[in-house]
Each structure stands twice: as C-alpha cells, then as structure tokens.
Structure 1
Amino acid sequence: MKSWRHVFKLDPDREMDERSLDAVCMSGTDAIMVGGSSGVTYENTVDLLSRVRRYELPCVQEVSDMEAIVPGFDLYLIPMVLNSSDPSWIVGHQQQAIDRFGYMIPWELLVTEGYIVLNPDSTVAQLTGANAKLERSGIVAYAQVADKLMSLPVVYLEYSGIFGDMETVRAVQHELTGAQLIYGGGIKDLHTAKQAAAVSDTIVVGNIIYEDLAQALQTVGAVK
C-alpha cells in the first residue's frame, strides 16, 4: 500500500456499467478502494467486490459500517475520524466491532487511517459531527497526533467533494515522518490530480468517475 500513488474509489451504492468498470480497472491505477458514506450494505459491497475481482489489481474496503464488512478484500482500511465531536467515530464504533467480531478479524489485513474531514458540507462531516472548519495549524496538529502520538500508518485528508487547499496539504506532508499521506476530494481532471499528487503520497479519485469517466481516467497520468 505504501507504494500506491493513485487509487480509484468506487461506491457500492452507485451504479456503474461493465464497460465503465473495465475502463477503471484497466486504467493503470494502483488499487481500487470500495466504500462510501451512506447507502453501503453487505449486499451491494459483495456485488461490487465480485465484479472487481475479475481484474488483477488490489481491492481494499474502507469500512464505514460494520454490517457491510465483506470477507475477501486484500486490506481493510479503518477510519478514525480525529476531528469528530463524537468519540464513537474515533474509537467507539471500532471497539464495538472488535467486541462483536474480534474472534474472526484478520488483524494482519487491517490498516488504521487517521481521518481528518475538511469539508463541513459533506455527508461524512455531517454524519460524524466533524469540526471541519479548522485553521491550517489545527489540521497539521491533528496530522501530527496521528503520526507521532498514535503512530498510525495513514493520515487521510478528506475534502469529500471539494478540491482542498494544496498549501495545507503540503504543510501536513512536511510534518509527517512515518505516516503515508492520502489525499481525497475534488480531483476532477489531470490538472487537479497533478496538484494533489505533488503534495501527497497517494491520491484517491472518486466522484468524477461517475460524472465524467474520461476525465477520471486521465488522472492516472498524474502519477504514471
């Protein structure tokens, strides 16, 4: 996962025809991430995984609902929303999942993400009660908490639907010493992909896949 520079994120709750899925999976992206903020179920996740599994590239699940966890992914990304006002999104849901499923969890396949949600109008911000209106120094501090205090392997800056402030992303990148920096949000073409890739380790491209597939496919060229 450390070597991934480009990831396409597919939402199980959104329709994608076979031709489009083939284009995404054969694009040269490093991996497919499966997940979403709402409408994710066990059934639609199983369906999407089975379709992606026809291709020879890593497929990971970003877990947002314990009822939708599906066996068979290469890795499971576990978000801890560090700037949530509700502690259940930092450790509560995770504790409940371990209490319920601990005996069958493949620990070696779990990757914890220090999630920092930065679009206050996004579904994920509203769902988690995230304090997304942060100054740059506050965002950097959360990233340092994840990297230096918690030793998390991933810091994920989630702008979810809008293109973020690249100078803020750069400031976070500058302060990280161990964690992989993943950026997601508002990447809509080659230009924005190049900007984000220049200041992060990995870019995640999601919404534009469903809005303009041709532009989405061009984003792979930002890192290849």
Structure 2
Amino acid sequence: MQIDWDAITHVTKVDPAKSLPGDLSVLEGTDMILVGGSDGVTEANVLETIDALEEQYPEMPVLQEPNGSDHVSRTTIDRVDAIAVPAVYNGDREHFVGKHLDLFTEIGQKPDELFGTNVPLVGGLVKSKGQEVVADLASKLVGEAYVVQNLASAAADQAGVEDQYTPEQVAGAALATEAFYGFPVFYVEYSGTYGGPEDVEAAARYLEETTLFYGGGIDSAAKAEEILEAGADAIVVGDCFHDDPETFRETIPT
C-alpha cells in the first residue's frame, strides 16, 4: 500500500515497549499507525505490535519509525507500508545525516536477514542482484523532517537537541523541507507537552506538497481542533493512547 498523505488527519503513535489498551476499538477513526519509541524497542516487540494492530485493522496504513537498524528486518519491511527515517533539524549531525548513513551501512552488513541473499550490499553492489535488494528497501523509505521542541524530552536528549527553534526558524525548516529536501513529512514534535499553534502556523504557510504533522500534549478535542485549524495536516497522538484510551478517543476528529 502506498500511503496517501493527503488522507491522513489523525496519527496514532504506538510505542512497542508499552502495553496496548485492552480494547483496540479506540483506534476507530484514526488514519495511520506510527510504530516507534525511544527506549526498549526491539524487532520482536515491533512485530508483536503490528500483529495485534493488523488483526483488528488490516487496512490501516502502518509507518515504522525505527530508532536503529536493529529494528529493521526483512519481516518488518514486508509488514509495514513505509519506514520513516527522521532528520532532526535542530539536533546534532548524527541525527540529521549520520544515522542515515549508519542505517544503510549497517543494513549492508546483514543481507541474509534483510533480503534473503548473501550478497553484501556494502562493497558488493555490482555483484548479482545487489541493486535490486537496495531498491527493495529504498522503495519503503520516506524522509521525515523533524523539529524537536521539548528540550526536556527523551527525543531531544537522544537527538542532541540543545536549542528550541523560534517560529521563524521553524518556518525556515519547513521551507527547506518543501523546496530543497523534498521529504513528504515535516513534523513539529513537542514530545508530551503542548506547544500550541504558533509553530504550526509558522510552518504551514510554506508547505503545499509536504504533509505537516504536529505531535505533543494533545489530550482533548479542543487541542486537536486548535492545531488542525492552525494549519496542521495531521496530529500525532501517543501518550494518552497508552495511558488513557477514553481521553484518546476525544482527540479523533469527527
């Protein structure tokens, strides 16, 4: 399934290291599942999470956001619709460019697991069907531009974020995403705190083709509505899905 970004308004971020709600009917009305987390994520619990979700929602688009190449395998590639590769604008070099290079290099060292072939991808692309197996993976990869705005969050610590962007810088990052990098997603992330509409308004004016995500602290219909009215194409809701499913229901637009 190719993801129709224009059809996405509500995204549920599911952390494989956390327990799922007992009643997954709370997901009725969400448009996409984003599977990923900062701590305790493994290939095994990613697949367990996907299994549980697909049993009830087999047609729901699933986007994997791996924290490292050890979360990616031939099986995960086959099971998800796309794999998001984050590029954190206000993070360190490792989390804008370095991890992308690491991802491809590390994947190249384990071709049996990923592609069912013993042709090494790094240093062996000319041999056999090396180009085909790389294309197999590349067809699922999507760039995901990030601005991480909660400096106290695990995401900020992990990505080496030391400075919160001003709305003007958020706008510049959005423009760079649309006009230069061409990533399909620009994500303003407040990681558990509510940042309000200012950054969304700043980014939205520069985005036409790129989908604008906002995530962080959305735990009511009022906050969801405020962010969408400010210009976000989609809201990303995670914490209350795991912690308070009934509140989570309120965040799904009707």
User: Under a length normalisation based on structure 2, what TM-score does the superposition of the two structures give?
Assistant: 0.81
- Asked whether the equivalents of residues 8 and 204 of structure 1 are also in contact (C-alpha less than 8 Å), the reply is yes
Code of the aligned partner of 1:219: T
Partner of 1:23: 25
- Asked whether the equivalents of residues 196 and 227 of structure 2 are also in contact (C-alpha less than 8 Å), the reply is no
- 1:130 and 2:132 are equivalent in the alignment: no
Instruction: Give per-residue Cα distances to partners, 1:29-64, cap 9 Å, x unaligned.
Output: 111111112211111111111111212211221122
Code of the aligned partner of 1:83: N
- Asked whether the equivalents of residues 117 and 132 of structure 1 are also in contact (C-alpha less than 8 Å), the reply is no
- 1:9 and 2:9 are equivalent in the alignment: no
Measure, in 2, the Cα distance between the counterparts of 1:177 and 1:7: 19
- 1:66 and 2:69 are equivalent in the alignment: yes
Measure, in 2, the Cα distance between the counterparts of 1:134 and 1:12: 29
Instruction: Determine which of 194, 204, 209 is the counterpart of 2:241.
Output: 209
Code of the aligned partner of 2:8: W
Structure 1 runs of 4+ with >6 Å offset: none
> Alpha-carbon deviation of 1:95?
0.9
Structure 2: 5+ residue stretches without partners: 109-132
Measure, in 1, the Cα distance between the counterparts of 2:241 and 2:184: 27
Instruction: Give per-residue Cα distances to partners, 1:94-126, cap 9 Å, x unaligned.
Output: 112112325455222221111110100100001
RMSD of the alignment, in Å? 1.5
Partner of 2:88: 81
- Who wins on radius of gyration, i.e. which is larger? 2
Code of the aligned partner of 1:137: E
Name the SS for the 1:53 alignment partner.
helix
Structure 1: 5+ residue stretches without partners: none
Percent identity for Structure 1 against Structure 2: 30
- 1:166 and 2:168 are equivalent in the alignment: no
Instruction: Give per-residue Cα distances to partners, 1:167-212, cap 9 Å, x unaligned.
Output: 2211110122321101111100111111112220011110011222
Code of the aligned partner of 2:88: V
- How many residues are treated as equivalent by the alignment? 218
- 1:96 and 2:127 are equivalent in the alignment: no
User: Under a length normalisation based on structure 1, what TM-score does the superposition of the two structures give?
Assistant: 0.91
> Alpha-carbon deviation of 1:10?
0.6
